[in-house]
């Protein structure tokens, strides 16, 4: 899945560690989500959406396989 | 989440004027403090996240102490049994080291439960790797024993599994980097 996490984070001037601290996960997890190597669980995706005050669809975008 | 569009976009909220000043020796520009955005509190100040060694490494310290207790009881137990091989209480003394070992298991499971979802996935993959790797290696050596290689004590299996678990953790941690 593609995501806009890095952009949203940069807009708020948060480091990966800041975001990780807010979400209650490790910095490695934030990094793995940002680079698209790990897709977060539904609760973590909702908690990301809540943190950025956006809808999940505004943060994540499914890569459509054709 | 459906009410999100009605709220002002936090990224378009006015930036604190203090932030817009050019760097000047006469004016404090607070460059390290992120801008205050309406609706979203800024990052927690670093002072809030400074943690003591005990808080950060509590599980590691507890597991280390339990392992130390295990080693001490193991050495004590073996020494006692060597000195009294015919004693009636020898079976009880022989299993005493299992108590701190059980504590290690408890602390380890508790530590696993505290990790976040990516760490849990990495650990699951590492355990799978360790289990499959141990099965493969022990089967291989079993066949070699059948062909005449010396018999190995099966307490070697656990250290082998632990080593493979460590290798697996390194591999899968690197994969999600």
Q: Average per-residue pLDDT in chain B?
A: 82
Contacts of B5 (CB under 8 A, 6+ apart): none
Would you say residue A66 has pLDDT above 80? no
Are B176 and A40 within 8 A, CB to CB? no
How many Cβ atoms from other residues are within 10 Å of residue B49's Cβ? Answer: 11
Distance from CA of B128 to the nearest CA of A (A): 19
**Could you report the per-residue pLDDT of B22-71, keeping only the tens digit for each?**
555 565 555 555 556 666 665 555 555 556 778 778 888 999 999 999 99
**B129-152 CB burial, b ≥16 within 10 A, e <16:** bbeebbeeebeebeeeeeeeeeee
Residue A30, chain B, CB below 8 Å: the answer is: no
Would you say residue B11 has pLDDT above 80? no
Contacts of A1 (CB under 8 A, 6+ apart): A36, A39, A60, A61, A62, A63
> CA B77 → CA A26, B29, B158, B173, distances in Å?
41, 66, 20, 38
Whether this prediction's pTM lies above 0.80 is answered by no
Residue B131 pLDDT class (50, 70, 90 cuts) = very high
Query: Mutate which of A8, A12, A24, A58 to test chain B, going by most B C-beta atoms within 10 A?
Result: A12
B4 vs A11, which has greater pLDDT?
A: A11
What does the alpha-carbon distance between residue A1 and residue B7 come to, in Å, rounded to a whole number?
27
Would you say residue B75 has pLDDT above 90? yes
Map tokens 């006692």 to a residue.
B80
Task: Look at the alpha carbons of A52, A15, A62, B118 in this order and tell me if their dihedral is positive or negative.
Answer: negative
Q: State residue B19's pLDDT score.
A: 53
Residue B10 pLDDT class (50, 70, 90 cuts) = low
Are B122 and B176 in contact by the 8 Å Cβ rule? The answer is yes
Write the ipTM.
0.87
How many Cβ atoms from other residues are within 10 Å of residue B117's Cβ? Answer: 15
Mean of the pLDDT values across residues A31-54? 94
The helix (H) or strand (E) run that includes residue A60 is strand A60-61
Distance from CA of B67 to the nearest CA of A (A): 26
Q: State residue B13's pLDDT score.
A: 65
> CA B39 → CA A51, A55, B14, B91, distances in Å?
10, 15, 12, 66
Residue A47, chain B, CB below 8 Å: the answer is: no
Mean of the pLDDT values across residues B95-110? 94
Helix (DSSP H) and strand (DSSP E) numbers for chain B: 8, 0
Q: Which of B2, B35, B43 sits opposite A18 (nearest CB)?
A: B43
Residue numbers in B near A42 (CB within 8 A): none
Would you say residue B101 has pLDDT above 50? yes
Residue A8 pLDDT class (50, 70, 90 cuts) = very high
């Amino acid at each position: 899945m593609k995501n806009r996490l890095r952009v949203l984070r940069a807009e708020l001037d948060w480091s990966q560690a800041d975001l990780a601290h807010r979400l209650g996960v490790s910095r490695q997890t934030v990094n793995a989500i940002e680079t698209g190597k790990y897709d977060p669980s539904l609760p973590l995706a909702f908690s990301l959406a809540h943190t950025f005050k956006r809808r999940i669809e505004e943060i994540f975008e499914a890569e459509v396989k054709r | 989440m459906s009410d999100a569009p009605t709220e002002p976009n936090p990224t378009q909220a006015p930036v604190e004027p203090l932030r817009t000043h050019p760097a000047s020796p006469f004016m404090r520009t607070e460059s390290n403090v992120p801008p205050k955005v309406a609706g979203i509190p800024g990052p927690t100040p670093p002072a809030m996240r400074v943690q003591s060694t005990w808080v950060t490494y509590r599980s590691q310290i507890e597991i280390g102490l339990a392992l130390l207790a295990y080693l001490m009881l193991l050495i004590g137990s073996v020494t006692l049994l060597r000195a009294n091989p015919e004693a009636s209480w020898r079976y009880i003394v022989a299993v005493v080291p299992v108590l701190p070992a059980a504590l290690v298991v408890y602390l380890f499971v508790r530590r696993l439960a505290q990790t976040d979802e990516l760490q849990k996935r990495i650990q699951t993959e590492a355990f799978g790797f360790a289990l499959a790797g141990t099965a493969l290696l022990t089967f291989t050596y079993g066949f070699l024993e059948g062909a005449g290689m010396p018999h190995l004590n099966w307490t070697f299996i656990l250290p082998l599994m632990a080593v493979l678990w460590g290798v697996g953790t390194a591999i899968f941690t690197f994969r999600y980097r």
